[in-house]
């Protein structure tokens, strides 16, 4: 069956497709997309989704906290959090998740086990940052900076730095 499908397939060169939009219309479309009105509408659409995105991040945080010692689950969930926490207005949460992901990546790369206490500290900080009030940004930044320094020290001790 696979052989028959291969024989029926025909490769079509990209430059043989007809142009979907003329150059003039493409330039007009790009100008429209770059307009202040489109930017304002896009921002309004994003702002309208912030509560739903925050709720999704909090669900991920719950998963992260419930992962216990499942390092694969912790990494995957932290990776999801870092991917869109900033879009949800949770910049510090995303920053700490990024610190955790980079640490776990680096330890994997140098074939050393992660420090479970350090992972737990990061998981706890992600949860606190995600649930913090907006006014706690300075404290969240301080915590993120301290965690980054601790991770850097651990990586150096492990022979990465």
**Does a structural domain hold residue 69?**
yes
Please state, as a whole number, how many other Cβ atoms lie within 10 Å of the Cβ of residue 88.
22
**Does a structural domain hold residue 100?**
yes
Its domain, for residue 60, covers: 50-157
How many whole angstroms separate alpha carbon 94 and alpha carbon 54?
12
**Does a structural domain hold residue 42?**
no
If one counts the domains in the chain, the total is 1
DSSP string, 19-87: PSS-HHHHHHHHHHHTSHHHHHHHHHHHHHHHHHHHHHHHHHHHHHHHTTT-HHHHHHHHHHHHHHTGG
- Residue 117 pLDDT > 70, yes or no? yes
**Does a structural domain hold residue 37?**
no
**Does a structural domain hold residue 132?**
yes
**Does a structural domain hold residue 59?**
yes
Here the CATH number for the domain that contains residue 75 is 1.20.120
Please give the share of the chain, as a percent, with pLDDT higher than 90. 49
**Does a structural domain hold residue 10?**
no
For 3-12, write each residue's pLDDT tens digit: 555 567 777 7
> Quick check: 140 and 92 in contact, CB under 8 A?
yes
pTM score: 0.71
How many whole angstroms separate alpha carbon 116 and alpha carbon 140?
21
For 77-115, write each residue's pLDDT tens digit: 999 999 889 889 899 999 999 999 999 999 999 999 999
């Amino acid at each position: 069956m696979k052989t028959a499908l291969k024989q029926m397939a025909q490769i079509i060169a990209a430059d043989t497709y007809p142009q979907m939009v003329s150059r003039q219309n493409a330039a007009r479309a790009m100008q429209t997309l770059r307009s202040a009105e489109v930017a304002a509408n896009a921002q309004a659409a994003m702002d309208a989704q912030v509560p739903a995105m925050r709720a999704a991040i909090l669900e991920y945080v719950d998963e992260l906290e419930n992962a216990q010692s499942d390092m694969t689950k912790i990494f995957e969930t932290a990776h999801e959090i870092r991917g869109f926490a900033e879009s949800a207005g949770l910049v510090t949460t995303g920053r700490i998740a990024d610190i955790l992901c980079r640490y776990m990546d680096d330890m994997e790369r140098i074939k050393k086990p992660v420090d479970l206490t350090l992972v737990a500290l990061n998981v706890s900080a992600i949860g606190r940052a995600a649930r913090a009030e907006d006014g706690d940004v300075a404290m969240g930044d301080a915590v993120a900076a301290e965690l980054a320094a601790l991770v850097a020290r651990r990586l150096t001790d492990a022979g990465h730095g």
